Structure 1
């Protein structure tokens, strides 16, 4: 069972997935900092000093923190847009790479020999008096 687990855990897809999760977590922290430390204060200034995350509504004994929900929605939209732009950029690079025409392979020895025979036959047709 340990051998099977090792084979499963060390497959390329699993390793790539693990790396993606780690990078995604770090990316999430960067975007959260972007939103919390840069964008939301600017949005607060535009809204007259309003802190969106502090918005709440009291309903009986309960406090509905819709501002925190709005903050999370804004975070999600920014993360989703960032990932979209990143994937779009990668797709563009990949498409450009695929569009590059591949250099034709060098002719094989058989193809070279056939080309020489073809050229000799052309010469003989053009100069019928010269028979070697």
Structure 2
């Protein structure tokens, strides 16, 4: 059983998942800091209240922390936008086969299928010319 657990842990997918969780937690901390320390004061300037976390109202003794909810919505939107951009980039890589069709010198990278087809065409032309020259 210990050996099976060791094999499971040493798989690449488990390690990738662990790295993803760690990076996600760090990214979440970054987004929280951006929301709390940059966006909240900026929004607070426009609505006349500097700290959004202090925004709240009470109904029949129940306190609703509207500022915390706004912070959560902003964080969610930021994270979802970043995830959307990553998925869009991955779809583009999967569809095109690479991020860019140009190499570092700025020249277009030829499609391998096109290259093979051009080589076959050139070989057929060569054979046809040789066959025509051998007839006479």
* TM-score, normalisation: structure 2: 0.71
SS at match of 1:104: helix
The match for 2:82 is 82
Matched, 1:124 2:128: no
User: Distance in 1 between the 2:9 and 2:88 partners?
Assistant: 30
Name structure 2 gaps, 5 residues minimum: 102-109
User: Distance in 1 between the 2:68 and 2:94 partners?
Assistant: 39
From 101, 114, 124, the equivalent of 2:111 is: 101
* TM-score, normalisation: structure 1: 0.72
The match for 1:68 is 68
SS at match of 1:58: strand
User: Distance in 1 between the 2:86 and 2:127 partners?
Assistant: 54
The match for 1:29 is 29
User: Distance in 1 between the 2:127 and 2:54 partners?
Assistant: 86
User: Distance in 1 between the 2:81 and 2:69 partners?
Assistant: 18
User: Distance in 1 between the 2:10 and 2:95 partners?
Assistant: 30
Q: Deviations over 1:31-73 (max 9, x none)?
A: 1111111111111111123422211122344322222122111
Name structure 1 gaps, 5 residues minimum: 128-132
The match for 2:51 is 51
Distance of aligned partners of 1:117 and 1:10 in 2 relative to their CA distance in 1, 3 Å threshold: same
Matched, 1:12 2:12: yes
Distance of aligned partners of 1:95 and 1:116 in 2 relative to their CA distance in 1, 3 Å threshold: closer
User: Distance in 2 between the 1:93 and 1:44 partners?
Assistant: 40
Higher RCO (C-alpha 8 Å, min separation 6): 1
User: Does structure 1 conserve the Cα–Cα contact (< 8 Å) formed by 2:40 and 2:50?
Assistant: no
User: Distance in 2 between the 1:40 and 1:88 partners?
Assistant: 29
Largest Rg, 1 or 2: 1
